[in-house]
Amino acid sequence: MNYLMSLSGKIKNHQAVIGVIGLGYVGLPLVLRFHEEKFSVVGFDTDPAKVKMLSQGQSYIKHIPAERIEGLAKSGLFEASTDYTRLKEADVVIICVPTPLSKNKEPDMSYIEMTSDEIAKALRPGQLVSLESTTYPGTTRELLLPKFERRGLKAGQDFFLVFSPEREDPGNQKFHTQNIPKVVGGVTPPCKAIGSLLYSQIVDRVISVSSPEAAEFTKILENTFRAVNIALVNELKILADRMNVDIWEVIAAAASKPFGFMPFYPGPGLGGHCIPIDPFYLAWKAKEFNFSTHFIELAGEINTNMPSYVVTKIGDALNENGRCLKSAKILLLGIAYKKDIDDMRESPALEIIELLQKKEAKVFYNDPFIPNIPKVRKHDLHLKSSLLTEKLLGSMDAAVIVTDHTSYDFDWIVANSRLVVDTRNATRAVKRNRRRIVKA
């Protein structure tokens, strides 16, 4: 049987059943996009709470409206499941599971390992498997391919295997799954062809590359580029502060050059599921080739130290106001890793809270998107969002702007605070009470 032709026909006619493993910030938008194109979709997740909410038409991601999930649940074209034996029902299996770092900043491949083991058990002729989780170059060919061929099936003939990196940017109003170009690399030319055909059904542009390694490297390059440039402006922010120069003014002036400059902005540290993590996957893999990735390691060191710099600035600002950090009441404004989303993965706010607590400060926070801080891999803080009022601000020794949500009225915040430490230049337009503001 010609499995390539058979699967191609199913994909072109939108009759292929799509299985998406991991229903988080990457997997769920993908489910919705396939559903919009009238594909039947089965979503898999190990979290029964997510499966239940999706089945009931409820959204657990702030920027994805409940109406879209309700339409998904009622359509008859979608099911959510924790039963991985159902993977054999899918013609296409897409992997969207986390790829975190270990404590030693080495790749934690446990989620990909467990998921690929489940796929290997269910793999049948005629299926396409696509890995979207960001990982080091070589993962698809070295880790997944041997598992899938162990049962005697041949890639490019009996089944198809590609890597196509996710490029989701939660909360971005301009770019979304459909209009973000999709990179695809297959372990064989037929794999690349069928993978490109699949994604061409749901995105406006597909970029085919020569191999999964090239696709894997592409994603790592994108995020390393950002990590290194953010580290540069973070380091220059510290230097500019010592020189009594406003780095934000400098960046704005430099950005007026119409060529040869791209603005990056400093902050309290890196957050999110990609930029703080992905470059270290490449740094780890590079050691296999006796190569040291100096830029990656230096950028990681600078960005990792930014929360400590922020805490130092808070302490200095308090001293200037006749208070010490110990026993001071500190309010963090925003703990999501970027504005207007409910995603706190790797957020520098968590590290800032922990550092402040170690110095015996009394820490509070407000975030309109995150009502409480659950236990995460590195932190167990047990804090709930405080209602943002004049009384709360007035009772604090300092308010620290960590995430510049657009719902915050920064004029009002400054007017009602004794001291504001601004890590995002959020108070740039504030005209009154500027003496209360300290940039960090």
In angstroms, the Cα distances linking 122 to 45, 82, 129 are: 16, 14, 12
Q: Where are the beta strands (DSSP E) in 271-396?
A: 329-333, 362-366
Tokens of 355: 């550092």
Question: Cα–Cα distance between 328 and 335 in angstroms, integer?
Answer: 19
Beta bridge partners of 399: 331, 420
Q: What is the C-alpha radius of gyration for the chain, rounded to an integer number of angstroms? A: 24
SS3 254: helix
Question: Cα–Cα distance between 123 and 418 in angstroms, integer?
Answer: 62
Q: What letter does residue 144 receive in the DSSP assignment?
A: I
Confirm if 87 and 119 have CB atoms less than 8 A apart. Answer: yes
Selection from 321, 392, 398, 311 nearest residue 358 by Cα: 311
Question: Cα–Cα distance between 169 and 96 in angstroms, integer?
Answer: 14
Confirm if 151 and 123 have CB atoms less than 8 A apart. Answer: yes
Confirm if 187 and 212 have CB atoms less than 8 A apart. Answer: yes
Residue 161 one-letter amino acid? L
324 carries an active-site annotation: no
Tokens of 387: 């209602």
437: phi then psi, degrees, rounded to nearest 5:
-95, 130
To which H or E segment does residue 206 belong? strand 206-209
Q: How many CB atoms lie within 10 A of CB 225?
A: 14
Tokens of 282: 């490449």
Question: Cα–Cα distance between 176 and 203 in angstroms, integer?
Answer: 9
Question: Cα–Cα distance between 182 and 147 in angstroms, integer?
Answer: 26
HSE of 178, CA atoms in CB hemisphere, 13 A: 10
Confirm if 372 and 384 have CB atoms less than 8 A apart. Answer: yes
- List the catalytic residue out of 96, 191, 274, 324: 274
Q: What letter does residue 142 receive in the DSSP assignment?
A: I
Q: What letter does residue 372 receive in the DSSP assignment?
A: B
Sign of CA dihedral 100, 223, 427, 307: positive
Q: Could you give the residue numbers annotated as active site?
A: 274
